[in-house]
Amino acid sequence: MIVDDEKHVRESLQQTLTLEDFDIEACESAQEALKIIEANWEGIVITDINMPHMNGVELLERIQAIDSDIPVIVLTGHGNVSLAVEAMRLGAYDFLEKPFSVDILLETVHRAVEKRTLTLENRSLRRELEASELPGPRIIGRSPGVVKMRTLLDKVKDTPADVLINGETGTGKELVARYLHHHSKRRQKPFVAINCGALPETIIESELFGHEPGAFTGANKKRVGKFEYANGGTLMLDEIESMPLNLQTKLLRVLEERKVEPLGSNKQIPLDIRIIAATKEDLRELSDKGEFRSDLYYRLNVIQVDIPALRNRKSDIPLLFEHFMAMAAYRYGAEMPSLSEAHAHALQNNDWQGNVRELRNVADCFTLLGESRAFGEMADSSDFSGGLLTLTEQMDHFEESVIRNSLNSHNGVLKDVQASLGIGRKTLYEKMKKFDIDKSQFK
């Protein structure tokens, strides 16, 4: 971010840094800059020291209060060196005295960006370690899509807002829901999951809302519904797209009023509950077709969590597979087999239509029954004793996987992909051409 009240200075700095493939946010005042900067903001700040209303030192102090690790580079004229020294004392990363050379500017900016990147990576690793030490489910993976999802989950875990999880079959929607619950303040209360597609329409209403004796034929005794049972905790409604339309109306009322009325009762029970809905379908598309209530869709879609398909996070496959092998070895009392480079290559070249669930089944099979049964029908698995990929081929395969993962997590926006991978526009285009990657398939 460049902050300077002089337009020609902003434009000159912006042009210089844009040529170096930096993404630039230019602000003409400190007040404008402060509207953008927040804790964990990914950038660095270059600010003039002499500005009206709020000078660079004051801006530095405000930034320090938001996030003391954001590097701030101060630009100063000859007569303001004492202010620059004061800024350094307050925590500025560096100061440049005008006029300064382009080489010195670029060297300082590169160092500051590297420092900021390292700081954010360390924070992310610290959060991951803290999460892994807590009891409950873990979300394994370091691909961009998984890191983005885990960051979102950690950010919203303690908010009372309802959550909509989107993901293909086998991607781990219930795992994500349990992760949210077990890492939240609600962890001591019940987590209740119900599959809306697995229950007959005749009993799903009673299962959700409960009933009083005599509410309908066969209702001989009181039944506590899932909403009431999960009170204080979390209720997961899996395959929400399967819920009958007439029941969606009643669900909408419960979500809006946070009260449930059992069948055959006139008494409403207050609810302190988080609702997590999960679907493998596009609810927006279903609502446009009249197959899902649009008002319920918008009510559920306060926070949307998208789980990447396994084929779009292939760099995570070896890590996941080893995790599942370790679990299988412990569960079955078997010895954990070793995963060779050829095995990893075959795993990463499989389509995984069943996603993580299918991968776990193969890991179980490999642990119990060996290589031929687990890998026999898998593509590129005909020979595990030899014919391994060369180093160059392995590096190309990994590089292509990383680029595809980044394109998927950033919805094909090349500017964001460049930033996340730390490469220039020309380099990214050349590599996409090399691997025959079409960005339109990621939008």
Chain segment 14-35, per-residue pLDDT in tens: 999 998 889 999 999 999 999 9
Q: Are strands 303-306 and 94-97 parallel, antiparallel or unpaired?
A: unpaired
> Mean pLDDT throughout 304-315?
92
Hey, which of 49-58, 197-206, 380-389, 396-405 has the most confident mean pLDDT? Answer: 49-58
Question: In terms of pLDDT, which residue wins out, 81 or 203?
Answer: 203
Question: Tens of pLDDT along 248-299?
Answer: 999 999 999 999 999 888 899 999 999 999 999 999 999 999 999 999 999 9
Summary count for the chain: helices (H), strands (E): 19, 14
Q: What is the percent of the chain with per-residue pLDDT over 70, rounded to a whole number?
A: 92
Please indicate whether residue 61 or residue 126 has the higher confidence score (pLDDT): 61
Any idea which residue has 């084929």 for tokens?
A: 311
As a whole number, mean pLDDT of residues 425-434 equals 86
Which two tokens mark 18?
Answer: 């844009």
What pLDDT, on the 0 to 100 scale, is given for residue 254? 93
Q: Which residue do the tokens 């009762």 mark?
A: 265
Percentage of the chain beyond pLDDT 90 is: 46
Inform me whether the pLDDT recorded for 312 exceeds 60: yes
Confidence of residue 386 (pLDDT cuts 50, 70, 90): very low
**What integer best gives the mean pLDDT of the chain?**
86
Query: Is it the case that residue 124 has pLDDT exceeding 80?
Result: no
Give the C-alpha separation, 73 to 1, whole Å.
10
Tokens 């207050």, residue located: 270
Residue 117 is predicted with a pLDDT of 86
CA distances from 164 to 141, 159, 229, 235, 279 (A): 21, 14, 21, 12, 8
Give CA–CA dist 206/224, Å, rounded.
9
pLDDT over threshold 60, residue 411 = yes
Residue 48 phi/psi, 5-degree rounding, is -70, 155
| Confidence (pLDDT) at 295 | 94
SS3 content of the chain, % helix, strand, coil (to 5): 50, 10, 35
Which range has the worst mean pLDDT, 121-125, 135-139, 140-144, 388-392?
Answer: 388-392
* pLDDT score of 242: 92
- Mean pLDDT value of segment 351-370: 91
96: nearest Cα among 18, 19, 22, 2:
2
